[in-house]
Amino acid sequence: MTRATWRTRIGFILAAVGSAVGLGNVWRFPWLTAENGGAAFLVLYLALIVAVGVPGLIGELVIGRRSGRNPVGAFRELGGDRFRFLGAIALLAAAVVLSFYSVVGGWILRYTLSSATGAYFAAPGEYFAAIDYGLGAVAFHAAFLFATVAVVHLGVDRGIEASTTLMVPGIVVLLGGLAVWVATLPGAAEGYAFYLSLDVGYLRENFLDVLVAAAGQALFTLSVGAGAMLTYASYLGEDRSLAADGTLIAVLNTAIGVLAGLVVFPLLFSLGVSPGQGGPGALFVSLAGAFGDLPYGRIVGVVFFGVVLLAALSSAISILEVLVSYLIDEHGRSRLQATLGAGGLLLVTGSVAAASPAVFGLLADTIANLVLTAGLIGFLLFDGWVLGRLAREEFERGAGRLARLVSLPWYVAIAVALPVFLAFTFVTGVGSVLGIPISSPIAVAVAVVGVAAVAAVFARCSPSE
Ligand code: PHE
Give the tens place of pLDDT for each residue, 412-463: 999 999 999 999 999 998 998 888 989 999 999 999 999 999 999 999 998 8
Sign of CA dihedral 375, 71, 103, 351: negative
**More confident of the two residues 284 and 407:** 407
Is 1 a residue whose pLDDT tops 80?
A: no
Is 230 a residue whose pLDDT tops 60?
A: yes
In this prediction, residues 101-116 reach a mean pLDDT of: 97
Protein residues whose CB sits closer than 6 Å to any atom of ligand 1: 19-20, 22-25, 97, 220-221, 223, 226, 228, 315, 318-319
DSSP3 helix / strand / coil % (the chain, rounded to 5): 85, 0, 15
pLDDT band, residue 234 (cuts 50/70/90) = very high
CA dist 153 → 12, 146, 454 (Å): 18, 10, 38
Rounded Cα gap, residues 454 and 465, in angstroms: 16
Rounded Cα gap, residues 34 and 163, in angstroms: 32
Closest ligand 1 atom to 20 CA: 1
Q: Which residues lie closer than 8 Å to 346 by C-beta, 6 or more apart?
A: 95, 98, 99, 102, 145, 320
pLDDT band, residue 270 (cuts 50/70/90) = confident
pLDDT value of position 277: 56
Q: Which residues lie closer than 8 Å to 322 by C-beta, 6 or more apart?
A: 70, 71, 90, 91, 94, 226, 227, 228, 230, 231
In this prediction, residues 49-76 reach a mean pLDDT of: 98
Is 278 a residue whose pLDDT tops 90?
A: no
In this prediction, residues 184-190 reach a mean pLDDT of: 84
Please state, rounded to an integer, the average pLDDT across all residues of the chain.
Answer: 92
Is 323 a residue whose pLDDT tops 80?
A: yes
pLDDT value of position 191: 81
**H helices present in 183-287, as ranges:** 188-196, 200-205, 207-221, 228-234, 242-270, 282
pLDDT band, residue 272 (cuts 50/70/90) = low
Task: Pick the most confident of 23-27, 228-232, 263-267.
Answer: 228-232
Is 130 a residue whose pLDDT tops 80?
A: yes
Model confidence pLDDT, tens digit, residues 370-401: 999 999 999 999 999 999 999 999 999 999 89
Q: Which residues lie closer than 8 Å to 327 by C-beta, 6 or more apart?
A: 333, 337, 338, 341, 342
Rounded to the nearest angstrom, the distance between the alpha carbon of 224 and the centre of ligand 1 is 8
In this prediction, residues 73-87 reach a mean pLDDT of: 97
Boundaries of every domain in the chain:
9-365
Report yes or no: 447 and 377 within 8 Å, Cβ to Cβ: no
Rounded Cα gap, residues 209 and 154, in angstroms: 42
Rounded to the nearest angstrom, the distance between the alpha carbon of 398 and the centre of ligand 1 is 27
Report yes or no: 355 and 133 within 8 Å, Cβ to Cβ: yes
In this prediction, residues 275-304 reach a mean pLDDT of: 81
Closest ligand 1 atom to 22 CA: 12
The DSSP H or E segment spanning 437 is none
In this prediction, residues 317-327 reach a mean pLDDT of: 98
**Conformational region of residue 238, where left means phi above 0, alpha means psi within -120 to 50, and beta covers everything else:** beta
Length of the chain: 465
| Among the listed residues 86, 48, 97, the one whose alpha carbon sits nearest the alpha carbon of residue 216 | 48
- CA-proximal residue: ligand 1, atom 6 (nearest): 223
pLDDT band, residue 274 (cuts 50/70/90) = low
Rounded to the nearest angstrom, the distance between the alpha carbon of 201 and the centre of ligand 1 is 31
pLDDT band, residue 120 (cuts 50/70/90) = very high
- CA-proximal residue: ligand 1, atom 9 (nearest): 223
State how far Cα 46 lies from the chain centre. Answer: 15
In this prediction, residues 225-243 reach a mean pLDDT of: 94
What is the Cβ-side half-sphere exposure of residue 232, based on CA atoms within 13 angstroms? 38
pLDDT value of position 128: 92
- If 0-12 CB within 10 Å is exposed, 13-18 middle and 19+ buried, where does residue 154 land? middle
pLDDT value of position 308: 95
Q: Which CATH class is domain 9-365?
A: mainly alpha
* Choice among 148-152, 266-270, 325-329 with the minimum mean pLDDT: 266-270
Rounded to the nearest angstrom, the distance between the alpha carbon of 275 and the centre of ligand 1 is 22
Burial 354-380 (b: 16+ CB within 10 A, else e): bbeeebbebbbbbbbbbbbbbbbbbbb
pLDDT value of position 187: 81
pLDDT band, residue 273 (cuts 50/70/90) = low
Give one DSSP letter per residue of 60-108, joined into a string: HHHHHHHHTS-HHHHHHHHH-GGGHHHHHHHHHHHHHHHHHHHHHHHHH
Amino acid at 169: P
pLDDT value of position 75: 98
Closest ligand 1 atom to 23 CA: 12
pLDDT value of position 279: 67
Rounded to the nearest angstrom, the distance between the alpha carbon of 16 and the centre of ligand 1 is 10
Report yes or no: 339 and 324 within 8 Å, Cβ to Cβ: yes
